[in-house]
């Protein structure tokens, strides 16, 4: 006779042991454990929502006072006044600093990543990678110190050179020297600071390029650069774009190094070589405590703008990196 194993109550020959029924129920400690870690997961979610909503809530009075003029005026709240403040110059300054940073940092980072994944000798590779990772661990205030005392005096000469001989490019025009404490210098520092971020993702996507196709290219007589150009870079394109965007997110938020460098004049300018300029985070960090109650709301509103900006860029970037990482379209 057939034994119905599914049902423990089915008739079975005498002497057979009763089958144990395994249920999907969790025991009480397990249920507590699951609820506990789930709560902490939800806690992260709540935290993010709280950041956005608190900043928006306390920034709202400033927006009610300034209206949409908040996005067309510049500068922090000056004591006693209730208008004329806004985020425009800081927003453009943020974008300019990030732009300079990406223009300088992204190629250096991609080259560094290529070096680490393709060129460096296998023996020394871990220590070289450690050096680059160390760049990410150096506090931004120390980068700021270095830039202020060492980089700036050297770059001023370079800026002068650019302004004299390359002023046909509108960005390099200078109408009011001096040339220290400029957006250009701040951008260079931030560019160096984003290198480890961009390089570490790029290195990872480069090393994911399929070995079969690499060897195929080399076997066909390609030089190392031709192999990189035809196999590694196309494979890693999505990851590289995502990496650069993540670096951009970091460049937008950098506070302290930029605040040490920038002079802080709140005027929209495209002349990045000369003294002055501001970014949103620099505005917040250097004007905290001035401007009374309204000034505080203004800074919190600026913080909200920065928060939303970096949130969008980071989510988009990680979506791109994530998609490219799955190795879609590569069959080997």
Partner 1 sequence: MTTQTAPEGVLVTTTSASTQTPPAPRPPETGRGPDSGSGSGSGDSSGVAGPPTPPRPRRLPSPIRPSAFGAEDVFLLVASAVSALCLVWIVFYQLTSLSGGLGFLVAWYLTFLALTWLGTAQMIERQVATDRVVGVVVVSAALLVIGIVLFIVVWVAAKAIPTIHWGALFTKDQKSFQVADPHALDHVGILHAIIGTFEQVGLAVLMGVPFAIATAIYLNEVKGFGSRTVRTVVTAMSGTPSVVAGIFIYSMLILTHVLSYSGFAASLALVVILLPSVTRVVEEVLRVVPSGLREASQALGAPEWRTVWSVVLPTARSGVVTAVLLGIARIVGETAPLLFTAFGSQVLNLSPFTHDQGALPLVIWSDVRQAQPVLIDLAFQAAFVLMCLVLILFVLARLFSRPRGRKGGWRRGDNRPAEDDLFARFIVPVPIQERTDP
Q: Which of residues 58-117 bind partner 1 (CB under 8 A)?
A: 58, 107-108, 111-112, 114-116
Question: Can you tell me the distance from the alpha carbon of 140 to that of 279, in angstroms, rounded to the nearest whole number?
Answer: 16
Q: Does the CA dihedral 286-291-296-301 come out positive or negative?
A: negative
- In the complex, minimum distance from the CB of residue 83 to partner 1, in angstroms, rounded to a whole number: 22
Q: Can you tell me which of 4, 7, 34, 82 binds partner 1, judged by CB under 8 A?
A: 34
Q: Is the CB of 102 or the CB of 116 nearer to partner 1?
A: 116
Question: Can you tell me the distance from the alpha carbon of 203 to that of 133, in angstroms, rounded to the nearest whole number?
Answer: 12
Return all residues near 119 (Cβ < 8 A) that are at least 6 apart. 224
Q: Which of residues 116-135 bind partner 1 (CB under 8 A)?
A: 116, 118-126, 128-135
What are the residues facing 87 on neighbouring strands?
74
Q: Can you tell me which of 60, 71, 148, 171 binds partner 1, judged by CB under 8 A?
A: 148
Structure tokens at 191: 């560019």
Which string of x and - marks every residue 240-279 that binds partner 1 (by CB under 8 A)? --xx--x--xx-xx-xx---x-------------------
Q: Can you tell me which of 74, 90, 200, 274 binds partner 1, judged by CB under 8 A?
A: 200
Closest CA to 194 of 182, 186, 206: 186
- Piece of 5-13, 75-83, 225-233, 269-277 that binds partner 1 (CB under 8 A): 225-233
- 20 contributes a contact to partner 1 by CB under 8 A: no
- In the complex, minimum distance from the CB of residue 301 to partner 1, in angstroms, rounded to a whole number: 10
- 41 contributes a contact to partner 1 by CB under 8 A: yes
Closest CA to 305 of 90, 97, 96: 90
- In the complex, minimum distance from the CB of residue 174 to partner 1, in angstroms, rounded to a whole number: 14
Q: Which of residues 290-309 bind partner 1 (CB under 8 A)?
A: 296, 299-300, 303, 306-307
**For residues 205 and 239, is the Cβ–Cβ distance under 8 A?**
yes
- 165 contributes a contact to partner 1 by CB under 8 A: yes
- 284 contributes a contact to partner 1 by CB under 8 A: yes
| Alpha helix positions (H), the chain | 28-66, 88-114, 125-137, 140-146, 152-165, 183-207, 211-219, 224-227, 233-235, 237-253, 256-261, 280-287, 292-325
Q: Is the CB of 13 or the CB of 17 nearer to partner 1?
A: 17
**Cβ atoms within 10 Å, residue 111:** 14
Size of the site for partner 1 (CB under 8 A): 118
What are the residues facing 275 on neighbouring strands?
182
- Piece of 2-10, 29-37, 66-74, 268-276 that binds partner 1 (CB under 8 A): 29-37
- 23 contributes a contact to partner 1 by CB under 8 A: no
CA 53 vs CA 49, 161, 280, 303, 304: distances in Å:
6, 47, 19, 12, 9
- In the complex, minimum distance from the CB of residue 13 to partner 1, in angstroms, rounded to a whole number: 28
């Amino acid at each position: 006779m057939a034994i119905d194993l599914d049902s423990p109550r089915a008739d079975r020959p005498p002497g057979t042991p009763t089958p144990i029924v395994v249920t999907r129920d969790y025991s009480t400690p397990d249920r507590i454990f699951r609820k506990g870690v789930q709560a902490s997961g939800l806690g992260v979610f709540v935290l993010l929502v709280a950041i956005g909503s608190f900043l928006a809530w306390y920034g709202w009075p400033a927006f009610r006072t300034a209206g949409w003029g908040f996005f067309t005026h510049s500068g922090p709240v000056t004591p006693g006044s209730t208008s004329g403040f806004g985020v425009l110059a800081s927003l453009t300054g943020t974008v300019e600093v990030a732009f300079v940073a990406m223009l300088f940092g992204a190629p250096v980072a991609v080259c560094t990543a290529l070096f680490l994944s393709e060129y460096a000798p296998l023996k020394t590779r871990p220590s070289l990678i450690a050096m680059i990772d160390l760049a990410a661990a150096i506090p931004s205030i120390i980068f700021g110190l270095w830039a202020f005392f060492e980089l700036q005096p050297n770059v001023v000469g370079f800026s002068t050179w650019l302004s004299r001989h390359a002023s046909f490019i509108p960005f390099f025009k200078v109408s009011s020297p001096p040339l220290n404490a400029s957006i250009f210098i701040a951008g260079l520092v931030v560019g160096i600071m984003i290198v480890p971020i961009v390089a570490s993702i790029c290195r990872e996507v480069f090393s994911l390029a399929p070995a079969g196709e690499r060897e195929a290219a080399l076997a066909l007589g390609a030089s190392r650069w031709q192999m990189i150009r035809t196999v590694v870079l196309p494979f890693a394109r999505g990851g590289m774009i995502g990496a650069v965007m993540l670096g951009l997110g970091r460049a937008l938020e950098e506070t302290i190094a930029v605040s040490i460098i920038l002079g802080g004049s709140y005027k929209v300018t495209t002349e990045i070589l000369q003294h002055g300029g501001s970014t949103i985070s620099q505005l917040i960090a250097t004007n905290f405590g001035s401007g009374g109650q309204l000034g505080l709301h203004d800074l919190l509103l600026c913080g909200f703008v920065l928060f939303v900006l970096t949130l969008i860029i980071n989510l988009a970037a990680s979506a791109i990196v994530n998609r490219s990482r799955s190795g879609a379209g590569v069959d080997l």
